[in-house]
Structure 1
Amino acid sequence: MTQPPPPSPTATNLLLGRYELGRMLGRGSFAKVYSAKSVFDQSPVAIKIIDKTKTIDASMEPRIISEVTAMRRLQDHPNILKIHEVMASKTKIYLVMELATGGELFAKVLRRGRLSESSARRYFHQLVNALHFCHQNGIAHRDVKPQNLLLDVNGDLKVSDFGLSALPEQKKDGLLHTFCGTPSYTAPEVMSRRHYDGSKADAWSCGVILFFLLSGSLPAEFDSSNYTLMYKKIRQGNYIPSYISKPARSVISKLLDLNPTTRMSLEQLMTTKWFKKSTIPRNVSKDSFGSSEDGEESSGLRRTLSMNAFDIISLSSSFDLSGLFEEVTKRKELKRFTTAETTQKVVERVREVGGKLGYRVERVQADSVGLVKGKTVVDFEVSELAAQLLLVEVRAVGDGGAERQDGGGGGCLWEELREGLEDVALSWHSETCVN
């Protein structure tokens, strides 16, 4: 009797029918990272797998949200690791990211020992420009260390791991308040749990990293568990080896200023003669990094507004990530539906349904409609998801959120919209109704 062929050896490694998992690249406290390739075009990726049943708690959920949000907003910079897609099952979250085949810069330095000044400056140039771009977008990394600096196939640096990053909306009076990071690389004002400027804290971490690149190790003072003693030795300024050039020593000491007010900022660092000796990274134009000399923002790194995979993360029924990319308050409601109709048909249908429900058309554009009724404003925005498939985001803002403003004594705006638009909507998502 003929035996059936054995199952494909990759069958058990097929992830949601989209990616074939390879070897594990590393593991952290709440995730594992694997190499993988797309089953569609064989392109290599890295996938961070987070087990929701073990790790999603009050402290971990904000980290996941911050990581995805920050990476999405920083997609355009060539020295920041790109995130391609986010998927979810009932038990796991999958972050599909760019694969940095060169591994960690930390491991490279440990293998080779201290780098030449020109080589260290090249990596440092890429790091500083990436962090400067983060700060221009209001994001502080807060966990800058060599283990989070990866190298791509060309040997160029990629800043990764934004799990501890701080978003603009998390700041109070422009300052941060949360203690986080790796002690050896963390600024003293963060360690002392004072209010701090996230960009100045990142600048301190850059000073430690530059020391590490040029010396091949951390100063003994930085390994001390007695932080008072550590900072006293740093203040004395005799921890920098004499074989490091005087200009580089000056940069390190100004970045490792215990006083964040007088500490050198990244903007000031980028104007120093030592930093300007850096060569321009391969395949990247001079204007691709943040600001030009006259202070104007480079047009090459303006955030795109086109529809991509991140905008539909919340369509996963197993894990509600609707709060990842927008701040949702008690008076702001967001729903989405997909449609196979044209944008023009959707706009016309929304106007018609809104009129029947007593709403005034306040704004009409090619891909959006604004409706107003009493104190409630409802915005519809249409984006192309794929060929012949559109995603419509519906936001309701006003007193009572999505409650009806006609004194009808109950009922829900979303129910009326679903009924009115049932001929154009294929499916609605995140359909919680507030009453």
Structure 2
Amino acid sequence: MAVAKSKAGKHAAPLLGKYELGRLLGRGTFAKLDKPELAATAGMDARVLGEVSAMRRLRHPNVLRLHEVLATRSKVYLVMELAPGGDLLSRLASLPSRRLPEHAARRVFLQLVSALIYCHARGVSHRDVKPQNVLIDADGNLKVCDFGLAALPESHRDDGRLHTACGTPAFAAPEVLRRKAYDGVKADAWSCGVILYVLLAGRLPFDDSNIAEMCRKAHRREYTLPEWVSQPARRLVSRLLDPNPATRLTVAELSSHPWFKRSLSLDSQLGSLLGGAPERDLLFQAPPTLNAFDIISMSPGLDLSGLFGENRRSREKRFMTTASPEQMVEQLGHSGAKLGYFMVGKKGVERLPLGGLSGLVAMSMEMSEVAPPLMLVELRLEAGDEEEVQAFGWDALRTELGEVVMAWHGCEEL
């Protein structure tokens, strides 16, 4: 956050001794409300509490992080991760065609799907999925935000259904608009279908100021896709924009769809997602060279992580290879695809959300040159709780990597 200064040019007094308030970055539904305003606005205090409760359960690379909640007598402060790239709607609006090429749309959609499957696995339904609630960080990666309307497990009635009509009409499922009992997971899937349509076509599938007429069009599937959209993408949109929630595809089932089976890292036309340097420039920066001190410092005898409650041995693996960084990323992409994983680039480090499309674990890969052509590859599970980390299939990944691995080690064996 930018630091604010007083008229005298000095820094403002730290907020609660920890933060300095900077310039206003934007406004949301309740981005700047005092406690009295929250109490006076019907349901607003419940939305704030709901958002805090939902975000405290979530820690995923594509979900905006809630760092801390602070309160004074008159105000409530939510300290969140900064996403300086704006929202997805604004970025699309800045493009001449207001849409993305299909290979770029696939990458955007994969990140959205990964975030939502993670949320659903923890009993959180977003219920207001739309481009305005998808932010972009400094590296061009997506961050799902605004969980003010999210439904938690305790929100469901005895029948396991939700009954509150909420969200944005153009992105809300027909059963929500018709004020029927609904499944929040299936409602989020419909919203994903609308977003995928927008990414591919540059417009809404159902756009009418009359909500009843919009609902009728959605129920009859009265939409058309431009001719440039591929057949696999068309079929996926149709499966998501299914007015019958019982037969509608869920986001957790997307891994079996042909449109998702293509490895993103091997798409030769995949450029920058939403601005910045080309994708391959980000992925294949020259690896650093290790010196003797670097190698010695990796010794298990000098590993002090246990003193801080970290379990590095279950989170990290290292191996030697003579493959180039380009070859290594390609092989990891092939191996991951066989196991149902997918790859998303991030500024010189290849991040691999793992566990099918569950998004429950995210991996980073770093390569360092030991002595040409020998390279040290370090794989680390960056996200996921201990249970998920312990269950991760290292052996299966090692098998799929095959001959590219010269010697496979855990942290304790290097």
2:70: which partner in 1?
87
1:287: which partner in 2?
354
1:214 aligns to 2:191 (yes or no): no
Of 111, 130, 149, which residue of structure 1 is paired with 2:94?
111
1:314-335 deviation line (CA, Å, top 9, x unaligned): xxxxxxxxxxxxxxxxxxxxxx
After superposition, the Cα gap between the structure-2 partners of 1:203 and 1:89, relative to the gap in structure 1 and judged at 3 Å, is same
1:120 aligns to 2:120 (yes or no): no
Checking the alignment, whether the CA contact within 8 Å between 2:133 and 2:145 is kept in structure 1 is yes
Q: Which letter maps to 1:93?
A: V
1:365-423 deviation line (CA, Å, top 9, x unaligned): xxxxxxxxxxxxxxxxxxxxxxxxxxxxxxxxxxxxxxxxxxxxxxxxxxxxxxxxxxx
Q: Secondary structure of the equivalent of 1:206?
A: helix
Of 228, 232, 241, which residue of structure 2 is paired with 1:247?
232
Checking the alignment, whether the CA contact within 8 Å between 1:82 and 1:97 is kept in structure 2 is yes
Higher normalized strand content (fraction of residues): 1
After superposition, the Cα gap between the structure-2 partners of 1:278 and 1:197, relative to the gap in structure 1 and judged at 3 Å, is farther
1:215 positional shift = 1.6
After superposition, the Cα gap between the structure-2 partners of 1:20 and 1:237, relative to the gap in structure 1 and judged at 3 Å, is same
What is the 5 A alignment of 1:322-361? none
After superposition, the Cα gap between the structure-2 partners of 1:230 and 1:197, relative to the gap in structure 1 and judged at 3 Å, is closer
2:178: which partner in 1?
192
2:51: which partner in 1?
67
1:286 positional shift = 4.1
For residues 162 and 86 of structure 2, the distance between their equivalents in structure 1, rounded to whole angstroms, comes to 31
1:239 positional shift = 2.4
**TM-score of the two chains, using structure 1 as the length reference:** 0.59
After superposition, the Cα gap between the structure-2 partners of 1:265 and 1:215, relative to the gap in structure 1 and judged at 3 Å, is same
Q: Which letter maps to 2:193?
A: G
**Higher radius of gyration, 1 or 2:** 1
1:35: which partner in 2?
none
After superposition, the Cα gap between the structure-2 partners of 1:236 and 1:166, relative to the gap in structure 1 and judged at 3 Å, is closer
For residues 86 and 8 of structure 2, the distance between their equivalents in structure 1, rounded to whole angstroms, comes to 30
Checking the alignment, whether the CA contact within 8 Å between 1:80 and 1:159 is kept in structure 2 is yes
1:145 aligns to 2:212 (yes or no): no
1:178-232 deviation line (CA, Å, top 9, x unaligned): 111011100111111111100000000000000111122213x323414345433
Q: Report sequence identity in percent.
A: 51
For residues 357 and 201 of structure 2, the distance between their equivalents in structure 1, rounded to whole angstroms, comes to 29
1:51 positional shift = 1.3
* Cα RMSD, aligned residues only: 2.4
1:177 positional shift = 1.0
Checking the alignment, whether the CA contact within 8 Å between 2:68 and 2:78 is kept in structure 1 is yes
Equivalent pairs, count? 276
1:302 positional shift = 4.2
What is the 5 A alignment of 1:231-380? 231-232=216-217, 235-277=220-262, 279=264, 280-282=343-345, 283-287=350-354, 291=358, 302-303=384-385
1:132-167 deviation line (CA, Å, top 9, x unaligned): 111100110000000010111110100001010000
For residues 87 and 179 of structure 2, the distance between their equivalents in structure 1, rounded to whole angstroms, comes to 29
For residues 165 and 222 of structure 2, the distance between their equivalents in structure 1, rounded to whole angstroms, comes to 26
Q: Which letter maps to 2:16?
A: L
Higher normalized helix content (fraction of residues): 2
Checking the alignment, whether the CA contact within 8 Å between 1:237 and 1:253 is kept in structure 2 is no
After superposition, the Cα gap between the structure-2 partners of 1:236 and 1:81, relative to the gap in structure 1 and judged at 3 Å, is closer
1:234 positional shift = 5.7
After superposition, the Cα gap between the structure-2 partners of 1:226 and 1:81, relative to the gap in structure 1 and judged at 3 Å, is closer
After superposition, the Cα gap between the structure-2 partners of 1:278 and 1:175, relative to the gap in structure 1 and judged at 3 Å, is farther
For residues 88 and 204 of structure 1, the distance between their equivalents in structure 2, rounded to whole angstroms, comes to 36
For residues 219 and 10 of structure 2, the distance between their equivalents in structure 1, rounded to whole angstroms, comes to 53
For residues 263 and 136 of structure 2, the distance between their equivalents in structure 1, rounded to whole angstroms, comes to 18
Structure 2 runs not aligned, ≥5 long = 1-5, 265-342, 360-380, 388-414
For residues 191 and 102 of structure 2, the distance between their equivalents in structure 1, rounded to whole angstroms, comes to 18
1:98 positional shift = 0.4
1:219-265 deviation line (CA, Å, top 9, x unaligned): 3x323414345433662444222222221111111111111111111
1:23 aligns to 2:23 (yes or no): yes
After superposition, the Cα gap between the structure-2 partners of 1:278 and 1:200, relative to the gap in structure 1 and judged at 3 Å, is farther
After superposition, the Cα gap between the structure-2 partners of 1:235 and 1:25, relative to the gap in structure 1 and judged at 3 Å, is same
For residues 197 and 233 of structure 1, the distance between their equivalents in structure 2, rounded to whole angstroms, comes to 17
For residues 7 and 300 of structure 1, the distance between their equivalents in structure 2, rounded to whole angstroms, comes to 43
Q: Secondary structure of the equivalent of 1:147?
A: helix
1:180: which partner in 2?
166
For residues 10 and 386 of structure 2, the distance between their equivalents in structure 1, rounded to whole angstroms, comes to 36
1:278 positional shift = 5.2
Of 129, 134, 137, which residue of structure 1 is paired with 2:114?
129
After superposition, the Cα gap between the structure-2 partners of 1:288 and 1:25, relative to the gap in structure 1 and judged at 3 Å, is farther
Checking the alignment, whether the CA contact within 8 Å between 1:105 and 1:150 is kept in structure 2 is yes
Checking the alignment, whether the CA contact within 8 Å between 1:115 and 1:214 is kept in structure 2 is yes
Checking the alignment, whether the CA contact within 8 Å between 2:174 and 2:219 is kept in structure 1 is no
1:163 aligns to 2:226 (yes or no): no
For residues 164 and 139 of structure 2, the distance between their equivalents in structure 1, rounded to whole angstroms, comes to 36
After superposition, the Cα gap between the structure-2 partners of 1:17 and 1:129, relative to the gap in structure 1 and judged at 3 Å, is same
After superposition, the Cα gap between the structure-2 partners of 1:144 and 1:13, relative to the gap in structure 1 and judged at 3 Å, is farther
For residues 83 and 145 of structure 2, the distance between their equivalents in structure 1, rounded to whole angstroms, comes to 10
Checking the alignment, whether the CA contact within 8 Å between 1:13 and 1:22 is kept in structure 2 is no
For residues 186 and 158 of structure 1, the distance between their equivalents in structure 2, rounded to whole angstroms, comes to 20
Q: Which letter maps to 1:126?
A: Q
Structure 1 runs not aligned, ≥5 long = 1-5, 33-49, 293-298, 306-435
For residues 49 and 37 of structure 2, the distance between their equivalents in structure 1, rounded to whole angstroms, comes to 17
